[in-house]
Amino acid sequence: MKAVLLDAASLGEDIDLTPLRERVDQLAVHAATAPEQCRERLEGARVAIVNKVVLDGELLEGLPELKLICVLATGTNNIDMAAAERLGIRVRNVSAYGTASVAQHTLMLMLALANRLPHYQRRVAAGDWGRSDFFCLLSPTTLQLEGKRLVIVGRGELGRRVGELAEAFGMRVDYAARPGREATDPRPALAELAPRADVLSLHCPLTEATRHLVDATLLARLRPGALLINCARGGIIDEAAALDALREGRLGGLAVDSLPEEPPRHGHALIDALDEPLNLIVTPHNAWITPEARARVVQLTAENLARPLP
């Protein structure tokens, strides 16, 4: 069985690919693959292994020997799933590989926003502490998490772990109903929970039901000064509306680990706004990148390769 890994560099050079090699007869490894290189590299392969390389319907139509796509991630929006199903190509992704890593990153963002870290780093760098009349700086006001309410969208393994960690800080945790299924989900809808939220954290997939889930209307329902964290996918929040709310003081802090276009080669308004005196953090989609999590991606993918095809 010939397999082709199209974007190995997305795993990092320090990750051992031996578990994958042990599951196939031949593994061709490419650090990165441009769209125009996909067909040639996948010619004759039975398995394609990808992280973010796009495999569209036209490409899949021209690969009659391809029987399996292993995605080195949970999201499969880079695969034409309808075409794969029509052509009898199985798609297998991985999940729960980075629970500890992403939950840790989420809490880091929450703590940094609550303690207004971006503001204080700028003030210290500007010399404000050295010019202070007494031993500390008292502005801006920070947020004590104990007793505050965290609303989480997404009650999978990751969302539950974030909730557990938040409870260790004494926070009260609510989980919103699954977007698009509010009528049958016994949990309160996000719109109902928003006015009570001190912190809103997103851990749900990007779907038609969650695209711009946090829009201007939802932002207006949030408690003034609430913190918003997106460690899910870019596009789940309306970034422009969130930035407006942050600039106007209606949102107390905003932290994102993903943007709609990645990498953001054409820039993004949130990146530009990092120069402004805002409680804003943008991290480069690296919540998942601990070595343990990346090694787990490889192991889970090896298990997907080991499962028989129909």
Closest by CA to 246, choosing from 277, 284, 211, is: 277
What distances in angstroms separate CA 274 from CA 121, 211, 269, 288, one per listed residue? Answer: 12, 24, 9, 22
Catalytic residue among 167, 262, 276, 292: 262
Query: Where do we find the tokens 């029509």?
Result: 86
Asked if 251 and 200 count as a contact pair (C-beta separation under 8 A), the reply is: no
The number of beta carbons lying within 10 Å of the beta carbon of residue 186 is: 5
Marked catalytic residue, from 123, 233, 268, 296: 233
Asked about 233 being catalytic, the answer comes back as: yes
Catalytic site residue 36?
Answer: no
Identified catalytic residue from 23, 116, 268, 285: 285
- Beta-bridge mates of residue 174: 151
Q: Is 203 a catalytic residue?
A: no
Distances 142 to 101, 119, 199, 256 between C-alpha atoms, Å? 25, 10, 13, 20
The b/e string for 60-90 (b: 16+ C-beta within 10 A; e otherwise) is beebeebbbbbbbbbebeebbeebbeeeebb
Q: Which of the residues are catalytic?
A: 233, 262, 285
